[in-house]
């Protein structure tokens, strides 16, 4: 299958569709935790739509040229949040689930490290068939497991000097 190229408009529509799916489920959560970097925009938008506090946990597993090579998963020791503690019911969001390792590890991390957390559900824009982890909510199931080119990827190859003098 060919790669999937996503425009900014399609990206934003997918986030809105994800919000609708979560809302239609009737499940109520106390807080959103997004996985940075891919889940930042998704988490921010859902936080605004649901008027829910947003916490951020960073992970890293893709390296190499333009972040296309999978390496060892690293999960940040600390999480950034504006609440004193996480809520009991967490909506964990990312942009996609590929192997499933990141969502699985971070979900277990939240349940093990934060005693106040009782339930974690997961939400992504794209769910690839090759994943060993099934998200609770997703927008598109990708049976052919395409590489997804997201609209912000040009920034991975850009440096500040590329921008100096541009658009003045």
- Quick one: pLDDT at residue 15? 98
pTM for the full predicted model: 0.89
Q: For residue 90, is pLDDT > 50?
A: yes
**pLDDT value of residue 75:** 86
Q: Is the peptide bond before 37 cis (omega within 30 degrees of 0)?
A: yes
- State residue 168's pLDDT score: 57
Q: Give the chain's domains with CATH numbers.
A: 4-155 (3.40.50.2020)
Residue keyed to tokens 């590929």: 98
Q: Cα–Cα distance between 66 and 157 in angstroms, integer?
A: 6
Total residue length of the chain: 168
Q: In the structure, what pLDDT confidence band is assigned to residue 1 with cuts at 50, 70 and 90?
A: low
Classified as helix, coil or strand, 62 is strand
Over 50: is that where the pLDDT of 87 sits?
A: yes
The per-residue pLDDT for range 26-64, each reduced to its tens digit, is 999 999 999 998 999 999 999 999 999 999 999 987 555
Q: Tell me the β-bridge partners of 63.
A: 69
What is the H or E stretch that residue 21 is in? Answer: helix 8-25
| 76/155: higher pLDDT | 155
Q: What is the mean pLDDT of the chain?
A: 92
What pLDDT, on a 0 to 100 scale, did the predictor assign at position 66? 47
Give the span between the Cα atoms of 95 and 149, in whole angstroms: 12
């Amino acid at each position: 299958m060919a790669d999937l190229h996503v425009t900014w408009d399609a990206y934003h529509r997918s986030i809105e569709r994800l919000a609708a799916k979560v809302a239609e489920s009737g499940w109520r959560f106390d807080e959103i935790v997004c996985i940075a970097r891919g889940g930042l925009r998704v988490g921010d938008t859902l936080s605004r739509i649901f008027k829910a506090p947003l916490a951020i946990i960073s992970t890293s597993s893709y390296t190499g040229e333009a972040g296309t090579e999978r390496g060892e998963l690293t999960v940040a020791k600390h999480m950034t949040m504006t609440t004193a503690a996480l809520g009991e019911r967490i909506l964990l969001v990312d942009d996609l689930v590929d192997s499933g390792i990141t969502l699985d590890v971070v979900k277990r991390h939240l349940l093990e490290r934060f005693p106040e957390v009782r339930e974690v559900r997961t939400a992504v824009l794209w769910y690839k068939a090759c994943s060993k982890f099934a998200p609770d909510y997703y927008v598109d199931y990708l049976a052919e497991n395409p590489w997804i080119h997201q609209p912000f990827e040009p920034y991975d190859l850009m440096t500040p000097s590329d921008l100096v003098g541009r658009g003045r």
